[in-house]
A and B are shown apart, each in its own frame.
Chain A
Amino acid sequence: MSEADGLVRLRQPIGVTYNWSAGPNATSHLAGLMSGKFVGKRCPSCALVYFPPRNGVCPKCAKILAGDVEVGPKGTITTFCIVNVPFLGQKIKLPYVAAQILLDGADISMQHLIQECEAEDVRIGMRVEPVWKDKSEWGPSLENIQHFRPTGEPDRVMGSESGAS
């Protein structure tokens, strides 16, 4: 508390530690990332493949997801945005591209960084592949992937998929 300017101020830092459980479905996904694999889950009802497996359920069917499905590692950009705005704690050089990537075999897209090309060259349908960090830095996280980069393969025509992306 300080009363230097006639006002009483109170700082009240709050910290609470939780034991957060990823649940069995997200656990196989996170364990996959620790061994360099993209592991998704399939809905036993509508057969859509979820990567990442959200909360372990298919929100369309309200069913617990079932078997593991390995997807990727290559994928296709379904949409993207070029980030030009600086903000506190920014770690990546501007401008950079945040993209939704539909991994091959998955039915929902995930967000990641696109690097190793000019931001203006990024486009919907562009084929990309992951660049993994050094294994010593891996943990149960999508941050094991440094970024995605273009493969140079022909673009994939988007919009004809049956998926939920």
Chain B
Amino acid sequence: MALRDIAIVGTAQRPSEVNSTFTSVEILLPVIQQLLDKVGIERSDIGFWCHGSCDYMSGQPFSFVAAVDAIGAWPPIVESHVEADGALALYEAWVKIQTGEVDVALVFSNGKTTSGPIDQILSLQTDPYMVAPLKPGFDALAALQARACLDAGVVTERQMAEVASRSRRDANNNAIAFTKGNESVEELLAMPYTMNPLRAHDCATPVDGCNAVVLAAGDIARRLAERPAWIRGIDHRIDTQRLGARSMIESSSAAIAAQKAGVGNDRIDVAEIHAPYTHQELLLRNAMGLSESTHINPSGGALVANPLMAAGLARFAEAAESIFAGSADRVLAHCTSGPMLQQNLVCVMEGE
């Protein structure tokens, strides 16, 4: 079966904040409205709605059901939800459009990451028998991975500081970003460890945020956007959940996903990588085979604003915007989830 041409034709993101006093529905609704206005379509033009979020983060079972209020479900709509990052919701919407049932889909995601102790909450997604009872903490797991990488010589502390320094500088030009800075690599290396070998700037800033994108097929996409970001390859791979059974110094799932998505077929101008820790960006760059000529995370990446469950879709939004603006012709968007890069979704988009 020939695949349909499907593109991102519009994006909208809410500026990051901490301890938001709005409900998830109240923060989503204006972003979705802004997106519809930008793309110039009505709610009735959307054939499929797909949402990414996580009940553990809001501490409310079935909290995603309330989010349907933000999209206006009357007259009845066709919608779905993934208990995962919005990037996975985008994957589902892409499949839905591939079936030919619909031509236009709206994907949205939200995360109020700062309403609870996110380090503890995230460790609840580890294996419930052998790992979760140890309450390992998410930062601690990443620190173990970073230590293994440093000891194996796969990354250096200087390279990690370079990632942080570049991301914080780039964040100065991004209204959505939360953590910004102009520190040199030397200044960052002089900072104390918060969880050896990680320093505060090696870890992503948890923020509350949400975003949405519109996907459309073929000529509809060409009508809705001047320069659509065409999805040329998309693939999702998962490493084993047994932490002791996988290599901590490489990411085989990211490598396979990148290969299946066709990353190496041509040069990548911009790569938006979802790396919540500095050493993970370095691991992912290696795994996905990105060269020095690729501009990594011009948005500042997840390091400077990590609205969990929305941070992956944010990478798609940022990468697509660089196609819209004409500043890139071939881009990569990546989303991770789970401890130590357990899951990886890779997508290649191109302008025409």
A16–B117 contact, CB under 8 A?
yes
Chain A residues within an 8 Å CB radius of B66: 54-55
A21–B72 contact, CB under 8 A?
no
A17–B116 contact, CB under 8 A?
yes
Q: What's the least CB distance linking A163 to chain B, in Å?
A: 14
Q: Decide: A64 near B117, CB < 8 A? Known: A10-B133, A54-B69.
A: no
Chain A residues within an 8 Å CB radius of B25: 23, 55-57
Q: Decide: A20 near B115, CB < 8 A? Known: A54-B69, A55-B66, A60-B72.
A: yes
* A 8-38 to B, binary, CB cutoff 8 A, 1 in contact else 0: 0010101011111111111000000000000
State which residues 290-317 of B face A: CB under 8 Å. Answer: none
Chain B residues within an 8 Å CB radius of A14: 124
Q: How many chain-B residues does the 8 Å CB contact rule pick out?
A: 35
Q: Decide: A16 near B121, CB < 8 A? Known: A24-B26, A57-B29, A62-B33.
A: yes
A23–B30 contact, CB under 8 A?
no
State which residues 93-121 of B face A: CB under 8 Å. Answer: 112, 115-117, 120-121
Q: Decide: A22 near B59, CB < 8 A? Known: A59-B69, A62-B32.
A: no
Partner of B21, one of A17, A18, A24: A24
Q: Which of A23, A24, A55, A60 has the most CB of B within 10 A?
A: A55
Q: Decide: A56 near B116, CB < 8 A? Known: A18-B58, A20-B59, A62-B72.
A: no
Q: Decide: A61 near B72, CB < 8 A? Known: A24-B21, A55-B66.
A: yes
Chain B residues within an 8 Å CB radius of A24: 21-22, 26
Q: Could you name 30 residue pairs across A and B whose Cβ atoms are closer than 8 Å?
A: A12-B128, A16-B59, A16-B120, A18-B58, A18-B59, A18-B116, A19-B115, A21-B19, A21-B21, A23-B23, A23-B25, A24-B21, A24-B22, A25-B26, A55-B23, A55-B24, A55-B66, A55-B69, A55-B70, A56-B25, A57-B25, A57-B26, A57-B70, A59-B68, A59-B69, A59-B73, A61-B72, A62-B43, A62-B71, A63-B29
Top 4 A-B pairs, shortest CB-CB distance = A62-B72, A55-B25, A23-B23, A18-B59
Point out residues on A near B: beta carbons under 8 Å.
10, 12, 14, 16-26, 54-57, 59-64
Beyond A16-B116, A19-B19, A59-B74, 9 extra complex contacts between A and B, CB < 8 Å: A10-B133, A16-B59, A17-B117, A23-B21, A23-B26, A55-B70, A57-B25, A62-B29, A63-B29
Point out residues on B near A: beta carbons under 8 Å.
19-26, 29-30, 32-33, 43, 58-60, 66, 68-74, 112, 115-117, 120-121, 124, 128-129, 132-133
